[in-house]
Amino acid sequence: LTVSLGRRRALAAGAASAAVGSLVVTSGALASALALIVAGSALLGAGGAAVMLCRYAAAETVSEPMRAKAMASVLTATTVGAVAGPNLLAPASRAAADLGLPALGGAYVFGAAAFALMAVVLAAGPRGAAAGARAAEADAEAASTASAAPGLTVLALSNLVMVAVMTMAPVQMEHAGGHLGGIGLMVSVHIAGMFAPSPVSARLVGRLGARRAAALAGLVMAASCTLAAADAHSTAALTAAMALLGAGWNLGLVSGSALLTASLPREVRLRREGLGEVVMGVAAALGGLACGPLVAVGGYPALAACGAVAAALVPGLVGRLDQRV
């Protein structure tokens, strides 16, 4: 879509799909139809993809040395929504009840309005330059799998480890006797760690280079998982580990995105950006599927230990793949 329509219209299409999906979920809740809720959730995911792809839109407006900083600025802005969103659940639920809708449907109604506004803002802007008919030819000539491998590896492993270890953290805290307030605080701290350190991540990428920053991201995530495995029954230790895990993921996202798209023609970058998001999504799905059985067999410490091993692979893999390019 970006190649044929330009970046703004492509992102607007993703936001519009999410707005429709939010309404479909609400309709499914009213009708007690799980199929509608699932279908609407799939459409809603398109909005998440559009939000994440906005970092590349920002990067395209600046020179190559400033791309990491531009991407980080979008992730920093995402922090505002990530923190404010959960706090809108209660008023949105009350508003939905006043309208005769299921209380939890209020969040989706609000989401539909927010994504619709996003689509309008994006569509109203000037149309970005499309890549043109030469895109496929340029992609075939310049975008080899080998050159994409370092960035894809960082993005995939960062998302795999973060999703797998974090998904079961609230369950572990509850089993360890934690209360809902503590669990909510841990999740909030983790989300803040995922986005708030973006300026620091951009600075590290600028100073160290994307490859060394990616290696550091792997080490930070490995350290966080090790802490979670060593003291999984401590609320304080688990909260600290999840904050560190979020920060490591953020550095992995910024450095991996920079590795994936550095010094490439626009036509090639567009396809790389989409490929990177697909790889991140697949990795997240695998992490979500694997974490439950791992905890069932070996407990949360076993899951966290596996996460530490996977994260520790990042420095070596990135260095080895980078040498082959």
Residue-wise pLDDT tens digits, 216-243: 999 999 999 999 999 989 999 999 999 9
Please answer whether residues 121 and 248 qualify as being in contact, where contact means their C-beta atoms are separated by less than 8 angstroms: no
For the segment 252-279, the average pLDDT, to the nearest whole number, is: 88
Instruction: Please check whether residues 48 and 116 belong to one and the same domain.
Output: yes
> What pTM, to 2 d.p., does this model score?
0.82
Q: Is residue 136 part of a domain?
A: no
Give the pLDDT band of residue 12 (cuts 50, 70, 90). very high
Instruction: Please check whether residues 228 and 319 belong to one and the same domain.
Output: yes
Cα–Cα distance between 142 and 134 in angstroms, integer? 12
For the segment 145-159, the average pLDDT, to the nearest whole number, is: 88
Closest CA to 226 of 213, 237, 216: 237
Distance of CA 272 to the CA centre of its chain: 16
Q: What is the percent of the chain with per-residue pLDDT over 70, rounded to a whole number? A: 92
Check residue 140 and give its pLDDT. 46
Instruction: Please check whether residues 150 and 246 belong to one and the same domain.
Output: yes
Query: How many folded domains does the chain comprise?
Result: 2
Instruction: Please check whether residues 120 and 145 belong to one and the same domain.
Output: no
Domain ranges, residue 23: 2-124
Q: Is residue 299 part of a domain?
A: yes
Collect all residues with Cβ–Cβ distance below 8 Å to 288 and sequence separation of at least 6: 163, 164, 167
Instruction: Please check whether residues 297 and 186 belong to one and the same domain.
Output: yes
Please answer whether residues 242 and 183 qualify as being in contact, where contact means their C-beta atoms are separated by less than 8 angstroms: no
The CATH number of the domain where 146 resides is what? 1.20.1250.20
Give the pLDDT band of residue 141 (cuts 50, 70, 90). very low
Q: What DSSP string describes 236-304?
A: HHHHHHHHHHHHHHHHHHHHHHHHHHTT--HHHHHHHHHHHHHHHHHHHHHHHHHHHHHHHHH-HHHHH
pLDDT digits (tens, 9 = 90+) for 30-63: 898 999 999 999 999 999 889 999 999 999 888 8
Instruction: Please check whether residues 83 and 28 belong to one and the same domain.
Output: yes
pLDDT digits (tens, 9 = 90+) for 78-135: 888 877 777 777 888 888 888 888 887 888 998 999 999 999 999 887 665 555 545 4
